[in-house]
Chain A
Amino acid sequence: MKRILALASAGGHWSELMLMRHAFDIEGATEVCYITTLDSLPEQYGIETFKIVRDGNKKNWINLFSSIWSLLFIALKYRPNIVISTGAAIGVIGIYFGKALGAKTIWVDSIANPQKLSLSCRLCKPACDEVYTQWERLADGDVKYFGALF
């Protein structure tokens, strides 16, 4: 059983993570711990294993530090084999902690970035084993394109 940490901040990033959920939440093959930033959002999707952290972004450093701290704790305790994220800030942090702990890391960039990879994606790309874009024009050697979620 592979342990997966799946992170997305509340809003569009989470909605996209939920749309692709069945690609990595596979009964008998994976167990997934979900992390998001809004209370009761995972329960809405019938998810039992989850953690809620603060929603940091580049304009809110206090929350960002709080989420870094929580995510470090979660990553150390859960010891994921794979970390997967659609964004944003919490995903970047999760990817780096996952990588540092020896996990494989996957980033799926949000469909909301048609012209340029998101800032989050560019920040954590060096620590990603796989990066997917949902726009063909953004694909290159490192960034794969297999169509979009919708």
Chain B
Amino acid sequence: MGTQLPFPRLRGMMELWASENKDVDIIIQCGSLTNNVKQDNIQFYSFLTPSDYKKIAIECEIIVGHFGTGTMITAFEYEKAALLMPRKFILGEHRNNHQELTAREFCNRKGIYQVTSQKDLFNKLNYRSDLGKAELSVVETENNLMNALRKSVLNMDVCKE
């Protein structure tokens, strides 16, 4: 649920859903406010190491998280469905409201789902087999960002010692 800040609103929803769906194993990374403990079907981690994160990302069925680019990129890389909830500035969940804007731009991508409420989240989790999987689609044109950057780096005149 993010690298910098905890997200108790979403965590609470997942705990509730988990208690109603004991057959599903859930792993929650939720910031520094908790110990690494297992409660019923939830394994909590305060912080996953990058290698554990990768392992879990490969093995999981669904990713639930905040609407951050890191989480989206994980979904693209490992081709998973992602249920993402934007953090709200007014609830003190982030330093500004950019996740709501990100959500507006990306919620139509295949496999990337914006969840707006607990009801919406539970509904999508209950029908998770219907969800599509995210794919990384890079625009392969001559003038793309990667090529522009590469050219720029190669052509930059730099001071030689």
A interface list, Cβ under 8 A from B:
2, 4, 9-16, 19-20, 22-24, 26, 29-30, 38, 40-41, 43-44, 55, 57-59, 79, 81-82, 84, 102-104, 106, 108, 110-115, 118-119, 129-130, 132, 134, 144, 146-150
Partner of B98, one of A13, A24, A84, A113: A113
A148–B102 touching, CB < 8 Å: no
B interface list, Cβ under 8 A from A:
2-4, 49-51, 54, 68-74, 76, 95-96, 98-99, 101-102, 104-105, 136-139, 141, 143-150, 152-154, 156-159, 161
Most buried by A among B3, B102, B150: B3
Cβ-closest chain A residue relative to B76: A150
B69–A23 touching, CB < 8 Å: no
Interface of B is mostly: helix
Chain A hits for B139, CB < 8 A: 147-148
Partner of B50, one of A16, A40, A81, A144: A40
B149–A23 touching, CB < 8 Å: yes
Top 5 nearest A-B pairs (CB, nearest first) are: A12-B69, A11-B3, A81-B158, A12-B70, A23-B149
Chain B hits for A144, CB < 8 A: 148
A85 nearest CB across to chain B (Å):
12
Chain A hits for B76, CB < 8 A: 150
A146–B70 touching, CB < 8 Å: no
A55–B4 touching, CB < 8 Å: yes
